[in-house]
């Protein structure tokens, strides 16, 4: 899988084991590339690093890494092609589809003309257990959380583009938000402040969350919407399944407004760093880790950061969509409707378990 170059700020260094020597490139006019290291960036995410020391005379038409469980990754491995080299210097790529308890070998390369030039082969071993991350199109990192027979993301979505690459309109101006039609697509950060979005996720209009432009775009079955490939926007019945697994009765799950007893507390992160006092009943026993991201109302105003969390469902009732809401002073879960033009959080659920 080829991933764009990223800027790495902090690393935890893993032990590197040299396996073979690099191809010797003595002349100063030849290409010289080195494999510099393998860093653990986050749980289940590794960063490969290399350097083009010398560009040679022909010009580098391709560079990157080969990696594999084989000790000869250049012949038996996966290629990460970062494209033509623009000059001597360091390069890197992230990898997040490793398996548990495996040893992998990597080798940096550069190609000039028809010739390949390689750095040395390095290896790293993955732990016996770790969570495999989910990375959206904008390279935001999420981790899967199994709750009963479902698998949910562990935090609110932050994507600013749909999985196929199209940008979601970012709307900051309240007057523009107020003038939305029923199926206007938009997202924003709370108070238009990106640092808040980095913690609490984005606020999406329902058409943006669904990736639809009209009633006719709503198809049967699962709706991927803004969620990454393999994930989708949960329907009302999937929210009910979650609630009943946490202890809610079928009668309560089918009801409206505030329902249940302590199921909402099992969804909320604990403490009062994010939720305001008293954060009633919060245990996060499900590891769902609900944040109080607030919401944006139909008039374009931001409401209740630290006080409430509102999540879209993929289910619609007339010109309104069904939502779930958690509050700082309740351990119950609200089920009701919201205007399609309001801005709420998105929490994705995996297609298969």
pLDDT digits (tens, 9 = 90+) for 53-92: 998 888 899 999 999 999 999 998 899 999 997 788 999 9
Q: Provide the CA 91 distance to its chain's centre, in angstroms.
A: 23
Nearest alpha carbon to residue 344 among 207, 180, 144, 145: 207
Cβ contact 226:211 at 8 Å: yes
Least confident of 25-29, 95-99, 297-301: 25-29
Check: pTM over 0.85? Answer yes or no.
no
Bridge partners (DSSP) listed for residue 325: 310, 334
Of the chain, the percentage scoring pLDDT greater than 90 comes to: 81
Report DSSP state, residue 220: S
Domains within the chain, CATH numbers bracketed: 12-125 (2.60.40.10), 134-350 (no CATH)
**In the chain, where does DSSP find H-type helix?**
73-76, 174-178, 194-200, 206-210, 236-245, 250-253
Residue 108 in this model has a pLDDT that exceeds 80? yes
Residue 29 in this model has a pLDDT that exceeds 60? yes
Which are the contacts of 84, defined by CB distance < 8 A and separation ≥ 6? 59, 60, 61, 62, 63
What pLDDT was estimated at residue 220?
A: 83
């Amino acid at each position: 899988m080829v991933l764009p170059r990223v800027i790495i700020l902090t690393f935890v260094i893993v032990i590197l084991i040299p396996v073979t020597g690099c191809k010797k490139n003595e002349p100063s006019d030849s290409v010289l590339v080195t494999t510099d290291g393998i860093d653990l960036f986050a749980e289940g995410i590794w960063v490969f690093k290399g350097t083009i020391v010398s560009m040679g005379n022909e010009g580098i038409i391709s560079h990157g890494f080969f990696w594999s469980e084989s000790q000869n990754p250049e012949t038996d491995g996966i290629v990460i092609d970062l494209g033509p080299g623009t000059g001597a210097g360091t390069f890197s790529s992230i990898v997040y589809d490793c398996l548990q308890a495996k040893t992998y070998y990597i080798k940096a390369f550069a190609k000039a003309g028809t010739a390949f030039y390689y750095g040395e082969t390095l290896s790293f071993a993955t732990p016996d257990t770790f969570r495999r991350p989910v990375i959206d199109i904008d390279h935001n990192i999420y981790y899967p959380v199994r709750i009963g027979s479902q698998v949910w993301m562990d935090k609110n979505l932050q994507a600013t583009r749909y999985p196929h690459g199209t940008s979601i309109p970012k709307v900051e101006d309240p007057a523009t938000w107020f003038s939305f039609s029923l199926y206007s697509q938009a997202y924003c950060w709370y108070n238009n402040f990106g640092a808040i979005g980095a913690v609490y996720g984005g606020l999406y209009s329902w058409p943006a969350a669904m990736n639809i432009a009209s009633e006719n775009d709503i198809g049967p079955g699962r709706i991927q919407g803004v969620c990454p490939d393999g994930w989708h926007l949960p329907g009302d019945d999937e929210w009910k399944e979650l609630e009943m697994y946490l202890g809610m009765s079928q009668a309560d799950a089918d009801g409206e407004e505030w329902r249940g007893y302590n199921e909402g507390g099992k969804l909320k992160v604990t403490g009062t760093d994010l939720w305001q006092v008293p954060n009633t009943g919060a245990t996060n026993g499900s590891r769902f880790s609900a944040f109080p991201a607030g919401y944006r109302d139909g008039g374009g105003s931001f409401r209740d950061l630290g006080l409430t969390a509102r999540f879209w469902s993929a289910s619609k009732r007339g010109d309104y969509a069904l939502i779930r809401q958690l509050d700082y002073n309740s351990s119950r879960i609200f089920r009701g409707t919201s205007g399609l033009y309001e801005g709420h959080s998105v929490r994705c659920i995996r297609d298969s378990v």
